[in-house]
A and B are shown apart, each in its own frame.
Chain A
C-alpha cells in the first residue's frame, strides 16, 4: 500500500513475470512510454486497450481517461455501492444546509402537536440536557470532596492525641502512655466511624484505616518524645530514691511523733494512777 514503483520496480516485476532480463525489461519499458509520448505529441491522442486514453487538449495539457476495465478493476473495493437516487422533495438549499435538514424535520413533528413550540423546544431540550449534564457533574464533584474531607479529619485526630498525651505524661509516662493512647484511639475511632457510617460508604473506611496507620506512625515518632522518658525513668529512679528517702524521714518523724505521743500518754496515765 502506498508504495512507489519506479522504472526499475516495473522492470523487475516484468522480468519476474516474463522471465526476461531486467535490463531488457527496463529498455522495453522506457521505449514503450517513449513511443507513447512521441505518438501523443504527433497525434495528440493515444489509446491503449483495456488501460485508457491519453489526450492533449486545446490548452496543451495532457489528460488521461482510464478505460472501463481499469476503472472497475481499481474501484473493485467500492464496486458494491451504487448511486442512490434521492427524493425529489430534497432541494438544493436543503442539500446546501446539509446537517440542518434533520433538525428541521424534527422541528416539524412537534409543531403539529404544540403551537409555536418548535423554536423553544430545542432550546428547552438543550437546557434540559445541559441541566442533566450539570446535575451529573456535581455528583462527581460531590464525591470528590467527600474523599477530600477524610484527610481533613486526620489533623483533628492528630491534634487530639497530644492532648491525651500531655496530661498522662505528667503523671506516669511509661506505664500509662500506651493504654491511654489506645483508649484515645478507640475513643476517636468510634465517632469517626459513626460519622462515616452515616454516609454508609465502605470505601471511606479504608482511608480511615490508612489514616490510623499514619497516626500510628506519628505515635511511633513519639519514642523521640519518649526518649526523654528514659531520662524520666532515671529521674523517676532518682525521684523514687528521694521519695523513699523522704518517706523514710517521714516515717521516722511520724514514728518519733507517735512515740512521743504514746510516751506522753503513758506518762500521763501513769501520773493519773500513781
Chain B
C-alpha cells in the first residue's frame, strides 16, 4: 500500500499482515464489482459497477471518429461524512 497504515497496526497485527488484509479487502470489493454487486462502507462511500452503452466519440488529438463499445465501469459515490471531511 502506498499510504501509511498507522491505526491498522494498533489492532495487534504486523505491517505485512495489514498489507495482506488490505489487499484481501480490496480484492473482495473488486470481485463484488465484477459480479455486479455493490459495496457500501459506512462513513466512506459506495462502490458500484454500472454499464455504459456504446457511443460515438471523436479523438481530439487525431480528429478521428470512433464507435466505442459498451463497457462496465466502476462508480464511487462518497458518503456525506466523506464529503464533509473533504470540504473542510
- Rounded to whole angstroms, the CA-CA distance of A27 and B71 in the bound complex is 35
Residue A37 contacts which of B24, B40, B44, B87 (CB distance < 8 angstroms)? B44
Closest-by-CB residue of B relative to A66 is B74
Complex contacts, A82 vs chain B, CB 8 Å: 69
Chain B window 13-30, contacts with chain A (Cβ cutoff 8 Å), 1 for yes, 0 for no: 100001011101110111
Residue A84 contacts which of B1, B6, B42, B66 (CB distance < 8 angstroms)? B66
Complex contacts, A37 vs chain B, CB 8 Å: 43-44, 81-82, 85
- Rounded to whole angstroms, the CA-CA distance of A10 and B43 in the bound complex is 15
Asked if residues A78 and B71 are in contact (CB atoms below 8 Å), the reply is: yes
Asked if residues B69 and A85 are in contact (CB atoms below 8 Å), the reply is: no
Asked if residues A71 and B85 are in contact (CB atoms below 8 Å), the reply is: no
Chain B window 56-88, contacts with chain A (Cβ cutoff 8 Å), 1 for yes, 0 for no: 101000001111111111101010011101111
Give the residues from 30 to 54 in chain B that come closer than 8 angstroms, CB to CB, to chain A. 30, 32-45, 49
Q: How many A-B residue pairs have CB under 8 A?
A: 177
Closest-by-CB residue of A relative to B83 is A62
CB distance from B15 to the nearest CB of A (A): 13
CB distance from B57 to the nearest CB of A (A): 8
Known: A4-B38, A5-B40, A41-B85. A47 touches B33 (CB 8 A): no
Complex contacts, A17 vs chain B, CB 8 Å: 24, 28
Closest-by-CB residue of A relative to B76 is A64
Asked if residues B72 and A29 are in contact (CB atoms below 8 Å), the reply is: no
Number of A interface residues in the complex (CB < 8 A): 63
Complex contacts, A73 vs chain B, CB 8 Å: 30, 34
Complex contacts, A46 vs chain B, CB 8 Å: 2-3
- Rounded to whole angstroms, the CA-CA distance of A194 and B41 in the bound complex is 83
Asked if residues A31 and B11 are in contact (CB atoms below 8 Å), the reply is: yes
Known: A47-B2, A51-B26, A74-B72. A34 touches B7 (CB 8 A): yes
Is A50 part of the contact surface with B, judged by Cβ < 8 Å?
Answer: yes
Residue A86 contacts which of B10, B45, B65 (CB distance < 8 angstroms)? B65
Asked if residues B2 and A10 are in contact (CB atoms below 8 Å), the reply is: no
Known A4-B40, A31-B8, A75-B73; further 6 A-B contacts with Cβ < 8 A: A10-B28, A27-B11, A47-B3, A61-B78, A85-B65, A86-B65
Name B residues whose Cβ lies closer than 8 Å to a Cβ of A. Answer: 1-8, 10-11, 13, 18, 20-22, 24-26, 28-30, 32-45, 49, 56, 58, 64-74, 76, 78, 81-83, 85-88
